[in-house]
Structure 1
């Protein structure tokens, strides 16, 4: 995390010579830009990817396209909620994890913290 934040400072300094506003913006957003560095290194690639979110959005869109016309906003919310619940149930039952339990354990060294059990 320290080296990631130092690298951001280096990049900000390099831009700052020609683009002082860019340097200011980078330094103002430093915590948000480098938040991933507080997680275990093996999580970094997964955190930077929006693939799971995009897949989730595609599934909601696919189901909404079948209906085409919704009578009101509540109907859209019910459909999206039903899709999310269904996918959540599938993710819980699926034995393979996006982030392994071992790597998640490093985030929660206190063994009293309960993580979802793996269903195999």
Structure 2
């Protein structure tokens, strides 16, 4: 992570990898950290018998269905209480949810309009799968430049889609959150620097 390019970062969404969480805290001291809801749910459901996974998943999803930050916090407490009442059945699940509560509800401190985009890192996971799919088609790359060129093209395509075809967050909601909206196309010669580094 580069300190010079991260001053406006307000939130980071990732899985619960301790090294990554530590780096986020060190490099982005003002940013909140949101634990990916999808990864958390997978981890939580491994602590519950298969027969009860649907019930527990529905309870936890009800936290994210609330319309305001206050109601998210209140529902989190209610779900933890319900799981604690069932603690003899799901002690590990109740403990994990109580432990991870603040991490999976960090999204609630940002505007409601952003919640669906920031409570998981699924878009990043999809992008990683697309990069993997495209590099698997090629198989073996003749040199570092070739892979940087292909991955750069995939990232450029995704950037264009998010910026033009399907804006990920509206300019109005970003402005409401106090974030600077950058207009125009800030093309930089980044690729030659990456290739030269290799």
Change in CA separation of 1:76 and 1:49 when aligned onto 2, cut-off 3 Å:
farther
Cα distance, 1:16 vs structure 2: 0.3
Q: Does 1:80 align with 2:148?
A: no
Alignment deviations for residues 15-66 of structure 1 (CA, whole Å, 9 cap, x no partner): 1022243322211111111112112112222334655334423431342133
Q: Quote the residue 2:103 is aligned against.
A: 32
Q: Does 1:66 align with 2:137?
A: yes
Q: Quote the residue 1:2 is aligned against.
A: 70
Q: Quote the residue 1:45 is aligned against.
A: 116
**Aligned residues between the structures:** 113
Q: Quote the residue 2:79 is aligned against.
A: 11
TM-score (norm 1): 0.70
Q: Quote the residue 2:167 is aligned against.
A: 97
Give the conservation status (yes or no) of the 8 Å contact 2:141–2:147: no
- 2:133 and 2:184 map into 1 onto residues whose CA distance is 29
Give the conservation status (yes or no) of the 8 Å contact 1:15–1:23: yes
Alignment deviations for residues 83-113 of structure 1 (CA, whole Å, 9 cap, x no partner): 224432x2475165211000011111xxxx6
Query: Root-mean-square deviation (CA), in Å?
Result: 3.0
Change in CA separation of 1:21 and 1:63 when aligned onto 2, cut-off 3 Å:
closer
| Greater per-residue strand proportion | 2
Give the conservation status (yes or no) of the 8 Å contact 1:93–1:118: no
List 4+ stretches of structure 1 deviating above 6 A: none
Instruction: Give the alignment partner of residue 176 of structure 2, picking from 90, 103, 106.
Output: 106
Unpaired segments ≥5 residues, structure 1:
none
TM-score (norm 2): 0.46
Change in CA separation of 1:7 and 1:77 when aligned onto 2, cut-off 3 Å:
farther
